[in-house]
Structure 1
Amino acid sequence: MNDYALFIAAANTATVRTGGAVALLASRAFRRTGSAALRAVAVGFGTIVGGSVLGGGVHLLGGAVALGVVLQSTVTAVGFGILLYSLYTETAAVTERTKISI
């Protein structure tokens, strides 16, 4: 293990927890609304989280820090591409919201 292993593990843990929470919330919102943009957000964040897990696993199990960084960075770039796509996706299904008075 190198001197940065603890910091890499902490950063990947934070990425998995926060990115996973965003992906879960976007997925729930997609199921509720049917919005293709929200589906793309969920897939994009899920991809970023998957890249973090993949890169961390390669580093932890294989001991190859450089390969882990390359894999994580590549998958993160793909995830951000999916998020960029979500900003340009047309909303296909719009649901009516019920106004609730308190």
Structure 2
Amino acid sequence: MYEYTTIIALANTATLVTGGLVMLFAHRAFRRTGATPLRAVAIGFGFIVAGSVLGGLVHLAGDVALGIAVQSSFTAGGFAALLYSLYSKTPRTTTVRTRVTK
């Protein structure tokens, strides 16, 4: 049962690091621009990363089936947020330029 524990731990660590960085950069971009799709991207990757970590912890606790269920549920929620980010509208801003003549 524990022959794949090291592989699972390494894969979950890689998911945590890379997904966490994508989540961090998307959140920074959202704060800089205020674009709601970027917030949804950060939330989506947050769900995927959280599911990977929680699923791995449940698996290490001994319940493999529950670990897979937790990870799959969070992954589905994360992909739903990513899908939302692709279809949500970014508010448009209008720049008005004026020219002063003498």
Q: Which interval holds the TM-score relative to the shorter structure?
A: 0.7 to 0.9
Q: C-alpha distance in 1, partners of 2:53/2:16?
A: 7
Q: C-alpha distance in 1, partners of 2:93/2:38?
A: 12
Q: Does 1:81 align with 2:45?
A: no
3-state DSSP class of the match of 1:91?
A: coil
Q: C-alpha distance in 2, partners of 1:75/1:43?
A: 11
Cα offset, 1:43, TM superposition = 0.4
Aligned to 1:7: 7
Q: CA offsets, 1:62-93, max 9 Å, x none?
A: 21112111110111011001001100010025
How many corresponding residue pairs?
Answer: 95
Whether the aligned pair in 2 keeps the contact of 1:40 and 1:83 (CA below 8 Å) is yes
Which runs of 4 or more aligned residues in structure 1 lie more than 6 Å from their structure 2 counterparts after TM superposition? Answer: none
TM-score, reference length from structure 2: 0.86
TM-score, reference length from structure 1: 0.86
Q: CA offsets, 1:12-60, max 9 Å, x none?
A: 1111100000000000000000000000000000110110111011112
In terms of mean alpha carbon deviation, does 44-53 or 87-96 score higher?
87-96
Q: Does 1:54 align with 2:54?
A: yes
Runs of at least 5 residues in structure 1 that lack an aligned partner in the other structure: 97-102
User: Which amino acid is 1:25 matched to?
Assistant: F
Correspondences of 1:1-102 after superposition (within 5 Å): 2-60=2-60, 62-92=61-91, 94=93
Relative to 1, partners in 2 of residues 1:93 and 1:30: Cα closer, same or farther, differing over 3 Å? farther
Identity in percent: 63
